[in-house]
Amino acid sequence: MKSNYIWCSLLLILLTSCARQRNLVYFSDLKTQGDNISTIVNDGEPKILKNDVLSIDVNSTSPESNVMFAANPTSVNMNGFYEKQGYRVNASGRIKFPVLGEVKVEGLTIAQAQSLVEQELNRYVVNSIVNIKFMNFRVTVIGEVNHPSTFTIPNEKINLLEALGLAGDMTPYGKRENVLLIREIDGKRTMVRVNLNHQNVLNSPYFYLKQNDILYIEPDKAKSVEYSHSSRSMPLIVATISAIAVLATAFLHR
């Protein structure tokens, strides 16, 4: 009789604990003792791409020159707010800048582009200072995160962990071992998966994000089971089996 009760109990445990245990720890293969020091092989410095929009401000000791190279033109949107238009990098990788004409900036970092424009401007202006910023440096984080959204990055440099932090981190259902990154450059779309359970992702060329990258956090199978129609009846099924087990045990003890 006792053996029947034990078998019923084991059946209940099996039915109620069939979910697979998942690793929810980032970099879980990292050594827990001692310092973990490694050389940064990818500094994540973004390069200017086609269709980027740049904010370019010029300052010099000449008031006339400052007027000539006034800050980016503005436009008025439908709500009456002023917005900077910026300078768009065309299909040839160039921007059209006052006096200088077309300047090729594609493939340059912001610092390199500033140096190039300053060098060109110094033929017309004394001691010019150029400040260039991305106006379209955005990343999108969707899927199993607490606050999915598109985020504008003011400092133009962000990595995977920082992007997840902006999105409120993953939910417990998010697959940390299978994060999908979607990147579009020069008309080509790259889709790669990265494993945030492993520390080698820190040296990945995809650890630092580029403008307009998309991160998709895939849900674990446990969520689909939880939200499926059949799963809603699981508590009733377990309760029914439990009641049957209790009745069977009582009957066998007679």
Check residue 74 and give its pLDDT. 47
Beta bridge partners of 97: 101
pTM for the complete prediction?
A: 0.70
CA distance 103 to 89: 9
Please answer whether residues 41 and 191 qualify as being in contact, where contact means their C-beta atoms are separated by less than 8 angstroms. no
Check residue 180 and give its pLDDT. 95
Check residue 236 and give its pLDDT. 61
Query: What's the CA dihedral at 46, 168, 214, 106 to 10 degrees?
Result: -20
Beta bridge partners of 75: 83
239, two tokens: 């309760």
Amino acid at 8: C
Please choose, from the candidates 87, 200, 213, 113, the residue with its C-alpha nearest in 3D space to the C-alpha of residue 162.
213
Check residue 171 and give its pLDDT. 92
CA distance 78 to 8: 69
CA distance 251 to 240: 16
CA distance 16 to 19: 8
Query: What is the Cα 64 distance to its own chain's centre?
Result: 43
Please choose, from the candidates 117, 138, 155, the residue with its C-alpha nearest in 3D space to the C-alpha of residue 52.
138
CA distance 159 to 90: 27
Check residue 141 and give its pLDDT. 97
Check residue 239 and give its pLDDT. 64
Helix (H, G, I), strand (E, B) or coil at 241: helix
Q: How confident is the prediction along the chain (254 residues), in pLDDT tens digits per residue?
A: 555 555 555 555 555 555 556 666 666 666 665 555 666 666 678 899 998 999 998 888 777 776 777 655 545 455 555 456 789 999 999 999 988 899 999 999 999 999 999 999 988 887 888 999 999 899 999 999 999 999 999 888 899 999 999 999 999 999 999 999 999 887 889 999 999 988 888 888 899 999 999 999 999 876 665 555 555 556 666 666 666 666 666 666 66
Please answer whether residues 48 and 109 qualify as being in contact, where contact means their C-beta atoms are separated by less than 8 angstroms. yes
